[in-house]
A and B are shown apart, each in its own frame.
Chain A
Amino acid sequence: MSDIRDEQDAHEFRAEALSLWRITFGPLIWALHFVCSYGATALVCAKAGAEAVPVLRMGIGIGTLLALALIFWFGLQAWRQWDLRRDREWENDAGTGEDRHQFLGHAGFLLAAISFIGVVYVALPALFIGTCA
């Protein structure tokens, strides 16, 4: 019989006060990338004029690569936490610390994937459109 004060779970699967937040890191980077791209475009188009547009597009390109790298890194961590390759477990539906740990990894990985796609999409306009008009 275990006591409520035992912190066994927390030792085995890390104290995860932060892990619920961690699954939002991917989307947060997407949001940051989005806001920066939009804000920079608004500023450049309102204050700097047409000649700065190539610089803007270059900047968005670099920002995109940076965001993708970060998301990839978070995604990789989440993938390891999900630990699919070891136990082939997709659902993680047991009320145990291990399943909770892997579930958060799974959700974090999927969110990283969707954020990755989102960042690529949001960068497309800078690729295809070269004017402030």
Chain B
Amino acid sequence: MTRPRTLPTAEGPYPPTEEMLNAPVSEAEQKRGGEELRAAWKTPEGWRYVTAVNNSEVGKWYCLTALAFMLIAGVLALLMRVQLAYPDMTFLDADRFNQFFTMHGSAMMFLFAVPMFEAISILILPAFLGARDMPFPRLSAYGYWCFLIGGCFVLGSLLFDAGPKAGWFMYPPLATKEEGVGPDIWLLGLSFIEVASIAAAVELIVGALKCRPPGMRVNIMPLYAWYVLVVGGMILFAFPPLIAGDFLFELERSFDWPFFDPTRGGDPILWQHLFWIFGHPEVYIVFLPSIAIAAMIVPTVAQRPIVGYSWIVLSAVGTGFLSFGLWVHHMFTTGLPQISLGFFSAASEAVVIPTGIQIFAFVATLMVGRVKLTLPMLWIAGALAIFVAGGLTGVMLAIVPFNWQVHDTYFIVAHLHYTLFGGMVFPVIAGVYYFYPFFAKKLLSERLGLWAFWLIFSGFNITFLPMHLTGLMGMPRRVFTYPESSGWGWLNLISTLGAFIVAAGFAVFLFDLLRPKKAQGQIPRNPWGAGTLEFSHDVPEEAWGARSVPYVTSRYPLWDQPKLLARMDAGRYYLPDAPEHQRETIVTSVIDAKPVHVQRVTGPAWITILAAIFTGGAFIFPTFHIYTPAIICAAFAIVCIMYWLWTSTARPPKDDMRDAGLGLRLPTYASGPQSVGWWGMWITMLGDATAFASVVFGFFFYWTARPDFPPEGAAHPAGLWVAVAALAAVAAWALTVAARESNARGQVTLARIALLLAPLAAGAAGVAAWAAVRDLDPTSHVYPAILWALMVWLVVHLGAGVLMQGYCLAGSVFGKMTPRHDAELRNVTLYWHFMAVKALVTTAVLGLAPGWLT
């Protein structure tokens, strides 16, 4: 067989010259393109509306759902404030109060703060980038439905008085020993949402890296995209340790494997490490995207480009890194060595510097510009006032002796609300006012906005400013009552009054947001005079995102490229039509945003909703220790996802090339690093590897923290089986690579044989790994338990790898995958590269570590 032709690459003139851009587009051409696009991007109507996957629809649902969850969590806060208004109140009993504060924290973090970032980004990132949609719209829809189901499930537990009540941090042994399903609901419900978060992060990273408009090099990306990149990366490294912790935690709850039980060699501190390795970066995951909104508003207000663009990029990237060196400042009182505490104290102070740079860059921009105070800017100003106060108390809290005094007191409650209101709530509301004309095509009321601002701003300070003093006067957190003799009564009463003022402010804001605005008429297209691409939107609304994808040469194209809007509208730029009535977007190179290919984007579907429902079942049934329906649901979820991938992704196109406009011809299929799918896989695997590393970290943590690890005379894994597992896993990897190579050379039969043998080798590896630890009793001690956990982790991943190999084999047999169109096989090979490393590390820990450690 001869080697098949490789895929074509882009051809034609690029960058476009002014002459090309000046050439008019004929009326007929404009009309044809517009109609084709309108047909391709039509939003489903009637009851089919829920099948929509377009970022503008999913983003709106996502935002509204997160807002609703926030309001519920806020009501819980009000009820708690009533209980604390006077000493010895009996409005809520201890049990209910504990459920409420647990749910308030969990919901605000997992159901509001992080999802809100994803929601807003899904809604507006494509517009910043002049893109038609996110690269994987069905994935966002799937993530949204998972979020909705999981959030309702977790919050709903309160209605049955079955909510978790061990705090949002779920410290074992309190949480592992708690009776009832509360902790299981927390663990499984939120794990489910964490998975959805990671999916969104993957999509956002790929979106910012690969779906920028032609010409938008990294140095002229909107700052928001930089923040999305950084925050996406942080999610990828921060959430997996928590997922690993959840995995160990649920194994202890369900099967009594003693990871956190000190009587059998476990250690509750491991959970604290895993939780806060997630928990602290999480604070910045919440803060950075909100400050990114400020970075978009401030230049508009100043009517000047941002001062210190590079400084802000430095600050975002630097904060992203440093935020991973802070987690122990939540554990200063656990009795760790003082030098260790010192490292985290120092790193916690260091992170102040990039954060400060960020704020000074905003002030500098306002200084250089001609400031026009608008309502969004008022909210940003409020945010800065509050956030700076929270940041200053943060500087204090990083000082260990001070922290020893105020840790777990109301001082912390005050500090964290100052950072979160200033760093998240206020900027997000500013964003709502600023972007409302963009996504709703209406304006919010200036008068109501002022009312809402002053109510929330003053109410907030009345609530939380006194709490600093309450904490210093000795009031611990998470107490459902306090004695009158404490002298905390008057401070708490003030806080409660303030909380209701905040609530009144939110009521005004919500009314303004949701009231019908039919009478308002058509709004101007760019009401704030902004310079970035989102305000090139169509008024009235069109679902296509951008009429044509522009060629961008400036950070503020609407200010610096005067003819841009007219050319976009006329369809002068790229992808001005959709001849096959397919949804498409343009994929560009990572650094310089050169056009690479045209990506077909998926459209409305039921399958994503079904997949989310079954995934929900797979997570929700185990909460009640019902495993058979859970397994059935998991199987259906896998089938749904397979079906969805099979029918709509990486199908070999009819034509190899497509006229993309301006004389450019772009390929319609991409494989390997050129394709967005490959990037998605690579990024997902980074997150997965982090989770795996966290489990391995657990193994070595026990070794340093516990003298009886491994316990004397303990049985070790069977060496022979460990060796077999390692060899078989490597064989499965080698066969997958061989399949990719022979397929690319056109030796299809050889590739199919390799793809037939590879799952067998992978299966053998799984069986051998199981056989290696079969004789150890995981309930007896943490040593066999962590070995079992590693084995389970490996086997589950081998299982996923086998499914992928089978998918490729089927693709090859049924003509979905050809020697030229091998995107799936390349992605699966990438998975197996990671798989091979994981298998080798697992077998090394299983087989070699006991020898080294004893």
Please report A residues at the B interface, Cβ cutoff 8 Å.
1-5, 9, 16-17, 19-20, 23-24, 27-28, 30-31, 34, 37-38, 41-43, 45-47, 53, 56, 90-97, 99-100, 103-104, 106-107, 110-111, 114-115, 117-118, 121-126, 128-129, 131-133
Contacts and interface: CB of A to CB of B under 8 A. Distances in A.
B596 to A, nearest CB: 10
Interface string B275-294: 00000000000000000000
A28 B237 CA distance: 14
Given A38-B340, A41-B339, A107-B314, 7 more contacts: A31-B325, A96-B217, A111-B318, A114-B350, A122-B325, A122-B347, A125-B342
A95 B215 contact: yes
B317 A24 contact: yes
B354 interface: yes
B317 A125 contact: no
B263 interface: no
Interface string B543-571: 00000000011110000000000000000
Nearest to A17: B591
Given A3-B11, A24-B317, A27-B317, A107 B310 contact: yes
B592 interface: yes
5 contacts: A30-B321, A110-B311, A114-B354, A126-B339, A129-B342
Contact of A95 (B14, B17, B216, B353): B216
Contact of B321 (A17, A31, A94, A103): A31
A42 B337 contact: yes
A20 B210 CA distance: 14
B313 A132 contact: no
Contact of B554 (A1, A95, A107): A95
B346 A4 contact: no
A103 B219 contact: yes
B338 A131 contact: yes
Given A2-B15, A133-B338, A121 B217 contact: no
B219 A92 contact: yes
A4 B14 contact: yes
B733 to A, nearest CB: 25
Given A19-B591, A43-B704, A107-B317, A3 B14 contact: yes
A96 B591 CA distance: 12
Contacts of A3: 11-14
A126 B347 CA distance: 13
Nearest to B347: A122
B92 interface: no
A93 B219 contact: yes
Interface residues of B, number: 54
Contact of A93 (B338, B555, B704): B555
A5 to B, nearest CB: 7
A121 B326 CA distance: 13
Contacts of B14: 2-4
Nearest to A43: B704
Contacts of A106: 310
Nearest to B324: A31
B338 A132 contact: yes
Given A2-B15, A3-B12, A107-B310, A97 B592 contact: yes
9 shortest A-B CB distances, which residue pairs?
A125-B342, A103-B219, A95-B553, A4-B14, A27-B321, A110-B314, A121-B346, A45-B337, A100-B217
Contacts of B552: 95
Contacts of A117: 350, 353
Contact of B9 (A5, A20, A103): A5
Contacts of B320: 27
B305 A42 contact: no
A108 B322 CA distance: 15
B710 interface: no
A47 B591 contact: no
A45 B12 CA distance: 64
- Of A95, A111, A133, chain B has the most CB atoms within 10 Å of the CB of A95
B10 interface: yes
B343 interface: yes
B244 to A, nearest CB: 17
B342 A100 contact: no
Contacts of B220: 93-95
A92 B310 contact: yes
B305 to A, nearest CB: 7
Nearest to A9: B592
Given A1-B13, A111-B318, A121 B349 contact: yes
Given A9-B592, A99-B219, A41 B337 contact: yes
Contacts of B9: 5
A97 B664 CA distance: 20
B329 interface: no
B752 interface: no
A94 B342 contact: no
